[in-house]
Amino acid sequence: MSLEARVVEKRKPQLRRAVKPWGSFAWGYSDVGADIFVGLGLVLGAAAGASNIAFLFAGLVYVCIGLAYTELAATYPVAGGGQYFVLRGLGDIFGFIAGWAVLLDFTIDITLFAWSCVDYLSQLVPQLLTVPHPVTHFVVVLLLICGLCLLNVIGIRESTAFNGIVSGLDVVSETAILFFGFFFAFNPQLLIHTMQTSWPTTFQLMNGVSLAIISFVGLESISQAAQETQRPASIIPRTSISLILTILIFALSYSNLALGMQPWSGHGAPPAPMMHGHNVPLWAYLGNGENNGKAVAVLASYVPFYGALAALYVPLLGSILLLISSNSGVFGSSRIAYAMSTTQLLPSFFQRVHGRFRTPAASIIAFTLVAIVELIFAALPSLNTHAAMIYRKFFHGEDGITFLGDLYAFGAATSYSFVFIALIALRLYDPLSPRKFKIPFNIPMQIRGERVEFPIVGVIGFIGIGSILVFTMITHEIGRFAGPAWLICGLIGYLIYRYRKGLPIWRSQRHNWRVAQVDILRASGELELMDEYTNNLRESERRREEARQR
């Protein structure tokens, strides 16, 4: 039996297929839905009056990403997400690079969302950011990360039902904020005026676009849950398309509302937005370093009538959603590392399971430690130390949440770039796998006697995400150095590990993907697709035999 088949057989009794359509949507929304809570303030601070344009560009790329993940997850419904797709489409070394980039994003998930969770709670408990500001904030975030690590080691994680409840409440809450904000306070003339008078430089716009992509990271959670989803080939396309549209609408709506909203000045309204003792537009107030980590909560508090109520519960609801997303980083990083280890892309250390709790404790602890290192670097700019002075001088005083956003954007753009290439490669080299959902706009071709469809959207998406990766490298000094350093260090470790194990270094191991695909479809309950696939294989073999006889 092939390695892939043994891995599938080993996992089958461990994963319960209990995720239904709303659970699949909630699984993705609990991750990607939290991103707007973090991304809105960062993009407003970077792109100013063109923040909506930055979100629009990143949103169009996100649609292409979402369609690619939807097709791939429905075709190959296994845990592993993008890392598995790249491994299967491009080979071991590229599968490692994509997985290692995803691991960077998952560790950033842990720190970034725990950091923003505390920012949102500070709306209700200001002492979390004052007494004294940097030390208290750092300690609370560190305790949250350590607590999530412990919970994952002993096997406690958020349930699909809880995800569904929180996601449902958040969808209703965000819709209400937009409804009341546009109905009572939005001024189209103010939006146009803001875009004309506060249009950013080209550099600032590229910076904004590179940060806007972090508002759309997390759709991969649906594909990672594919192995625990009932009838994934049918459910995943429906839930993915719904999630793509929901997040796109929210991101574009919030950016336009922030740029064109006149702050409420009536009875019970919060104080006018002020910076350095002067009144400022609301969007500038949301994008400054003091508020960019909690921009949605601050924006909600300025919505007429509804804002008084929103100011009480949006910080709490947002912090819960962000904490769930942080926990998904702990769980996801350990899941990816464990999967990469089983395919010998990482050392067997990452497969070690706790004897009592039966969880991949080694992977959980290892990548939580990475997240803590990232937290230390994120907290440095606000500390009054010699190391902080060096940091601020080298990176021009970039604050902690922007540091995390830099790395997050780099990891996402890198992994998504490889996923688009893998999509194209799998279309060309694996045309026999049934695709219940297929990205539209394809060019029919013949390769090795098989009819294939070349995905135009895949090329467009690759160009778009490649542009964002270039923007990240140009505009983010931290992303320019720390991101590639992460990849280079990981690649060096990979080459050493493969050499010491006597495995192919630059080439791939032998994989019987056909046997693996039959096992995947059988395990997912997609028996009709499994029969279609085996029939395709037989028909292909028959055509080849006839060609040989001629």
| DSSP secondary structure string for all residues of 327-385 | HHHHHHHHHHHHHHHHTTSS-GGGG---TTT-S-HHHHHHHHHHHHHHHHHHHGGGS-S
pLDDT-derived band at 32 (thresholds 50, 70, 90) equals confident
- Which tens digits make up the pLDDT trace of 162-185? 666 777 888 889 999 999 999 999
pTM of the model: 0.84
The 3-state DSSP composition of the chain as helix, strand, coil percent (nearest 5) reads: 75, 5, 20
129: pLDDT strictly greater than 60: no
Copy the structure tokens of residue 422: 């893998």
Contact call for residues 469 and 408 (beta carbons, < 8 A): no
The better pLDDT of the pair 261, 11 is held by: 261
* pLDDT for 256 beyond 50: yes
Per-residue pLDDT at 270: 74
What is residue 487's predicted lDDT score, i.e. its pLDDT?
93
Q: Poorest-confidence range of 13-17, 70-74, 461-465?
A: 13-17
Is the CB of residue 171 less than 8 Å from the CB of residue 29? yes
Spatial separation of the C-alpha atoms in residues 170 and 115, rounded to whole Å: 19
pLDDT at 387 over 60: no
Over residues 216-244, mean pLDDT: 69
pLDDT of residue 431: 92
Amino acid 17: pLDDT: 44
Q: CB under 8 Å to 517, separation ≥6 — which residues?
A: 76, 433, 533
For the cut 70, the answer to whether the pLDDT of residue 132 exceeds it is no
160-169, 301-310, 357-366, 497-506: the lowest-pLDDT one: 160-169
| Domain 3-500: CATH superfamily, name plus number | Amino acid/polyamine transporter I (1.20.1740.10)
| Residue in 331, 322, 238 with CA at minimum distance from that of residue 22 | 238
**Which range is least confidently modeled, 108-117, 187-196, 473-482?**
473-482
- In contact, 293 and 116? CB cutoff 8 Å: yes
| DSSP H helices in 91-159 | 92-121, 133-153
The β-bridge partners of 451 are 446
pLDDT of residue 525: 79
In the numeric block, the tokens 């135009």 are attached to: 456
Judged by average pLDDT, the poorest of 349-358, 376-385, 445-454 is 376-385
Collapsing DSSP to helix, strand or coil, 445 comes out as strand
- pLDDT in the model for residue 269: 66
Task: Encode pLDDT of 415-463 as tens digits.
Answer: 899 999 999 999 999 999 999 889 999 999 988 888 899 999 999 999 9
What was the pLDDT predicted at 98? 92
Residues 6+ apart with CB under 8 A from 474: 203, 206, 480
So what's the pLDDT on residue 391? Answer: 53
pLDDT of residue 163: 63
Q: Is the dihedral of CA 485, 491, 493, 496 positive or negative?
A: negative
Residue 259, pLDDT score: 95
CA distance 338 to 68: 24
Residue 171: predicted pLDDT = 87
DSSP one-letter string for 227-296: GGBSSHHHHHHHHHHHHHHHHHHHHHHHHHHHHHBPPP-STTPPPPPEETTEE--HHHHHHSTTTTTSHH
Helix (H) or strand (E) holding 450: strand 450-455
Higher pLDDT, 398 or 137: 137
Between 157 and 138, the higher pLDDT residue:
138
In order, the DSSP letters of 307-328 are: HHHHHHHHHHHHHHHHHHHHHH
Of 443, 354, 306, 335, the residue nearest 154 (C-alpha): 354
Cβ neighbors of 141 (< 8 A, separation 6 or more) are 111, 114, 115, 117, 118, 375, 379
For the segment 386-400, the average pLDDT, to the nearest whole number, is 54
Q: Are the C-beta atoms of residues 399 and 289 closer than 8 Å to each other?
A: yes
How many whole angstroms from its chain centre is CA 150?
Answer: 23
Sequence-separated (6 or more) residues with CB below 8 Å from residue 73: 81, 222, 223, 226, 232, 236, 240
Q: How many CB atoms lie within 10 A of CB 373?
A: 11
Least confident of 39-48, 56-65, 89-98, 266-275: 266-275
Q: Looking at 137-228, which runs of residues are DSSP E strands?
A: none
Q: Distances in Å between the alpha carbon of 525 and those of 15, 398, 479?
A: 13, 50, 42
